Amino acid sequence: MSRKRTILYVGNFSFPYGNAAGKRVYANGRLLRELGYDVIYIGTDKGAGGPQHLMSTGKEFDGFAYYNFPYPNGNMDWLKFTSLFRGLLGFLSAKNLTESLCLVIYYGSPSLSLFDTKLIRYCRANKIKVVADCTEWAYARTGHPLFDAVRWADTTYQKAYANRRADGVIAISSYLANYYSTHGLLTVTIPPLSAVECPFPEDGRDMKTRPTIAYAGLTFGKSKRIRDCNRLKDRIDKTVELLCAARRHGSEFTFNIYGFTKEEYLQAIPSQIQYVEELGPDIAFHGYRPNEEVTQAVADSDFTILLRDVSRGTTAGFPTKVSESISCGTPVITTRTSDLEQYIVEGKSGYFLDLADELRAMEQLQSILALTANDVRLMKDFCRSANPFYYKKFAEILGEFVNKVIDDGSLQ
């Protein structure tokens, strides 16, 4: 009897490059395809129709077929897990997929996590293995006390209950892998991977006299004022303040920000106006830009910077920005969160700052900004050659995990 080779990847992601989740599942899918499986995606998209129209959203990218649920438009849409699940059942029936599926991987949920519970029960009833792709243990605050309470309860339910009923967990960090393995689940740790070749600058390019630093992301909701910066996952406020302090002590640099405009930043964090004005032309806000443009900008930069406080959220997760930067040949200035110390070689592919000691962090930053052009070139060459996030490096470990989940056998 021939072995079933189709895997369904479903959840709250925008395939292939719409968000960090989309990039993660795309890279994982590339790896699963290398292992001999056919992967179909069902994610979310703001332009998609209702769940009953799932079939009509079909597109193709890099040989992968993908479909989309509508992205929740407001808090109430998160409650519509039943209609989304009916749409999924209709899709599976129309595509005649139930008999060919060997595995379903769910990434979060396109609605409340009760969707995942229904999915697990369906897979059990149809003898299909199911795996959770778990990348964080945090929830997005909406600013509405009632819905914040619902989202907190939903996140806790998914991580502590639903995922523990799966057949296995693909964990983005050792923190999450350890949590689920101690509860008897088969786990594998897969960080954010790079599935494509990045646009490296030419080796003969002229190195800039002023180092360029890039940050790409959106760590706050647009049109919302941040009341407490300690709740920011990416401490862009501390980043700007440290760079401002380094500049006062003579450091030269250009800091490029992609993802939001100057006006959006100051609307969110008005207290930052003094630092932004002091930096003047040394800080440039580029707003939202296409993924390809941002990737090229990261590759052209001397460093990227990503500063985060240590918390359960940053320990359980793993910053995609770090893996993308190193995969583009650009070293990272960051903090000791998640499993980053396992992947960054200090002085070769990045540096760690200690946010608990701001004076020490500023002095460290000054030293980094004083590196010679040749020093930076050597670091960029090391990132390219030693890229620990290249997806094929994880083929063996993921293949063993999938085999054990499906039937404890080897690929046939």
Q: What is the DSSP string of 220-263?
A: S-TT---S-GGG-SS-HHHHHHHHHHHHHTT---EEEEESS-HH
Q: Do 43 and 61 share a domain, yes or no?
A: yes
Give tens-digit pLDDT for 309-345: 999 999 999 999 999 999 999 999 999 999 999 999 9
**What is the span of the domain harbouring residue 275?**
212-386
CATH of the domain at 113: 3.40.50.2000
Provide, rounded to the nearest whole percent, the portion of the chain with pLDDT above 70.
Answer: 91
State yes or no: pLDDT of 1 exceeds 50: no
**Domain count within the chain:** 2
Q: Could you tell me if 371 and 399 lie in one domain?
A: no
| Residue at 241 is within a domain | yes
Q: Which helix (H) or strand (E) element contains residue 44?
A: strand 38-45
Could you tell me if 23 and 122 lie in one domain? yes
pLDDT at position 141, please?
Answer: 62
Give the pLDDT confidence of 122-134 residue by residue, as tens digits: 999 999 999 999 9
Q: 151 and 82, same structural domain? A: yes
Same domain, yes or no: 373 and 399: no
250 and 150 within one domain: no
Q: How far apart are CA 208 and CA 60, in angstroms?
A: 40
Q: Are residues 333 and 398 in the same domain?
A: no
CA distance 205 to 2: 53
Asked whether residue 167 falls in the same domain as residue 218, the answer is no
Q: Residue 204 domain-assigned? A: no
